[in-house]
Amino acid sequence: MEFFTDPLTYGFFTRALMAAVLVGVVSSVLGTFVVLRGMAFLGDALAHTILPGVVIAFLLGRSLTVGALVMGIVTALAIGVITQRTQLKEDTAIGVIFAGLFALGVALLSATSNYAGDLAHFLFGNLLGVSTSDLWTIALLGGLVLLVILLLYKEFMVISFDTVLATALRLPTTFLNYLLLILIALTIVVSLQVVGISLMLAMLVTPAAAASLLTRRLPTMMLTAAFIGALSGIAGLYSSFYLNIASGPAVVLVATLIFLLVFLFSPRSGILLQRLR
């Protein structure tokens, strides 16, 4: 029992644990739509393109959250506009913006005196450094994301499974697509402190992908993904504490391990179980 209770005597660990659970739940629930709609590359691009906003805020001594939030929303809207107003395919528009803005962020960051350390912090997160104000920010923004998903659950479900039906029902598909991009940007901002920019895609995709192998019903998939995300955060943080490894990568490694176990042994689609039948 002391294995679980001893780390909780440290305030930084308790805050990190709450942040990991919140991020695991929020990113995994939204990640179900990312997986269903095949938007993994878009999620990765958005995660990287917020770097200039974070770096500019860092250099100006302003809130990193505000910088990331502004850049994330601007990028999400820019990708949507370029895709709809030009003949370029979505992945091409994403690739252009992704590469350009990420390079801009690294270039700006290279101007700082502690380039390597700052870059590592932004790319891989600093879960054990979560402050009380960071925790409140994660809770408020994460709660907002979950609230919007709850209120527009049916609409998001329709545009994810059948765009033709969404058009026939006269749903505001353009608005909903933009809103989903903004929610992804918000979730990335929420997760920035926990897993960083480079590992954010894993928290959006991996728990939801594992859940999709276990169930086909969207509500059950969301709940399962949220459970896997929260479990990954808890197990990853304890692994980080006792093995003395970086917390963000530890969380992602646990999520990946869970996916591999599901992939191999799930009752519905486990590769090993299918061969034994």
- The 3-state secondary structure of 193-253 reads HHHCCCCHHHHHHHHHHHHHHHCCCHHHHHHHHHHHHHHHHHHHHHHHHHHCCCHHHHHHH
Round the average pLDDT of the chain to a whole number and report it. 83
- pLDDT score, position 118: 56
Q: For residue 277, is pLDDT > 60?
A: no
pLDDT digits (tens, 9 = 90+) for 163-193: 788 888 888 888 888 888 889 888 888 887 7
Other CB atoms within 10 A of residue 102 CB: 18
Q: Is the model's pTM score more than 0.75?
A: yes
Structure tokens at 41: 């590359």
Q: Give me 272's structure tokens.
A: 């090993």
Contacts of 146 (CB under 8 A, 6+ apart): 25, 26, 29
In this prediction, residue 98 carries a pLDDT of: 79
- Alpha carbon distance 259, 204 (integer Å): 13
Distance CA 138, CA 144 (A): 10
Asked if residue 8 has pLDDT above 90, the reply is: no
Section 105-113 average pLDDT: 76
- Decide which of 218 and 59 is more confident: 218
Q: What's the CA gap between 56 and 68, in Å, rounded? A: 9
Q: Which band of pLDDT confidence, cut at 50, 70 and 90, is reported for residue 145? A: very high
What does the pLDDT read at residue 81? 76
Burial of 275 (0-12, 13-18, 19+ CB in 10 A): exposed
* pLDDT at position 276 over 60: no
Report the percent of the chain where pLDDT is more than 90.
26
Asked whether residue 2 carries a pLDDT value surpassing 80, the answer given is no
Specify the higher pLDDT residue, 213 or 276.
213
Dihedral sign, CA of 119, 122, 124, 125?
Answer: positive
Q: According to the per-residue pLDDT averaged within each range, which of 1-5, 97-101, 150-154 is highest?
A: 150-154
